[in-house]
Amino acid sequence: MPNLIFYQKIKINKGEYVKLNIFSAAQPSGIPTLGNYIGTIRSWNAFQKNYNSIYCIADLHAITKRQNPKLLLKNSLDLLSIYLSCDIDPKISTIFMQSHRPEHTQLSWMLSCYTYFGELKRMVQFKEKSKNNKNINIGLFSYPILMASDILLYQTHKVPAGLDQAQHIELSKLIAKRFNKIYNSNIFNVPELIITQSGSRIMALSNPKKKMSKSDKNKNNFISLLDSEESIIRKIKNAQTDSDQPPVIKYDVIKKPGISNLLCILSELTGKNIIELETYFSNKLYRDLKLEVIHTVLEHIKKIQKKYFSIRSKEKYLIEILQSGSEKAKKIANNTLSKVKNAIGLHS
């Protein structure tokens, strides 16, 4: 199991225990990587047992880049199938498509009136994505407001995400506090970030100084959850190590980033701590480490793929899950939006 930081609090409402709400979303922009699985998706199974879990396929966020209309739904169903293959249970968790709930864009407009230009301009991700592009669309600029709406709409207490999303979640907190203060209310819960510890940043295999990403132009830098066995073996065998003689298998992200990345992957998937792995590999070769990583990664990915190809063929079933999830999400979303509109004076 992932090594998680749980902010485990149970609210008591009129003497009854109430699960806290947890919300997470991912864009349908391709099959998730091993890094996505370790850093986020794998933990969702644990969360759904302890929280009221709401998971969103963020297709509206995806269109900040031009999408092939024929592929957008396919990619969304692919992603849903991955979730189900990783044991996210639609009977326990709420899983839905962002575009199926109009409350997201309605709340986004309202919250944009309580967000300042300078706050959005300071977003690091916007700066990075717009750096080499002269024609920046407003959707990319206002992306963090829609993200805040996604989170706040469901009275979210906890948001599992990578450290790269921390600034966006801080903005969500700021907007929630600002709105509550202006209207002297507690309309929005103020969300908190949940991060994994060592698993939050699985690095690129050939360039372990940058994060593993499915959008990487170098396909050897990432392992897709649907990669073939041959591809996985080749990518891990070719993963960067170093030229130390004799070889030293030690966790040191500065001096030995490649070795550290392989140890991190192995630690996360086996549950063994880094020190234990360093001891085990103390007199072994880099080849031995890579073979162990290959064996462990294949063991996990083969299980996911077996479930995936069975589930993905049942398209009607997948559509029904999204429709059911949308109806469950509607109840919470409508309630929050109604409170916001009443506070502002937009009475229906």
The pLDDT of residue 3 is above 50: no
Q: What is the pLDDT of residue 5?
A: 40
Does pLDDT of 6 surpass 80? Answer: no
Q: Which pLDDT value is given to residue 162?
A: 76
pTM: 0.89
What is the predicted pLDDT for the residue at 1? 42
Average pLDDT over residues 65-89: 95
Task: Decide if 35 contacts 227 (C-beta within 8 A).
Answer: no
CA atoms of 35 and 41, how far apart (whole Å): 9
State residue 39's pLDDT score: 85
**What pLDDT is stored for residue 125 in this prediction?**
76
Active-site annotation holder among 214, 314, 339, 341: 214
**pLDDT for res 165:** 85
CA distance 91 to 89: 5
Query: Tokens for 310?
Result: 């069975």
Q: What is the pLDDT of residue 76?
A: 97
pLDDT of residue 88: 96
pLDDT tens digit sequence for 108-154: 999 999 999 989 988 877 777 777 776 788 888 899 999 999 999 99
Choose, from 19, 129, 328, 339, the residue flagged as catalytic.
129
> By percentage, how much of the chain surpasses pLDDT 90?
79
Mean pLDDT calculated for residue range 309-324: 98
Rounded mean pLDDT of the chain? Answer: 91
302 belongs to the catalytic site: no
pLDDT for the residue numbered 4: 45
Task: Note the pLDDT tens digit of each residue in 194-219.
Answer: 885 544 579 999 999 999 999 899 99
Looking at residue 251, what DSSP letter applies?
Answer: -
Which domains does the chain show, CATH number per domain?
10-201+315-344 (3.40.50.620), 229-310 (1.10.240.10)
Pairwise pLDDT comparison (160 vs 88), residue with the higher score: 88
**Binding-site residue positions for ATP:** 27-29, 35-36, 162-164, 202, 211-215
Residue 328 designated active-site: no
Chain centroid, CA 13 distance in Å: 30
Residues contributing to the annotated binding site for L-tryptophan? 150
Predicted local confidence at residue 77, as pLDDT:
98
| Sign of the dihedral through C-alpha 132, 74, 327, 93 | negative
Cα separation of 310 and 37, whole Å?
Answer: 19
Q: How confident is the model over 238-267, as a mean pLDDT?
A: 96
pLDDT at residue 201, rounded to an integer: 79
Report pLDDT for 10. 55
pLDDT digit string, tens, across residues 326-345? 999 999 999 999 999 999 99
Mean pLDDT over 253-262 rounds to: 97
Give the HSE-up count for residue 210: Cα atoms under 13 Å, Cβ half-sphere. Answer: 10
Q: Which pLDDT belongs to residue 348?
A: 65
**Is residue 262 within 8 Å of residue 248, measured between CB atoms?**
no
214 is catalytic: yes
Closest by CA to 236, choosing from 201, 204, 210, is 204
**Active-site residue among 211, 235, 256, 290?**
211
Per-residue pLDDT, 221 = 97
Q: What values do phi and psi take at 66, rounded to 5?
A: -60, 130
* Beta-carbon-side half-sphere exposure of residue 224 (alpha carbons within 13 Å): 17
Binding residue ranges? 27-29, 35-36, 150, 162-164, 202, 211-215
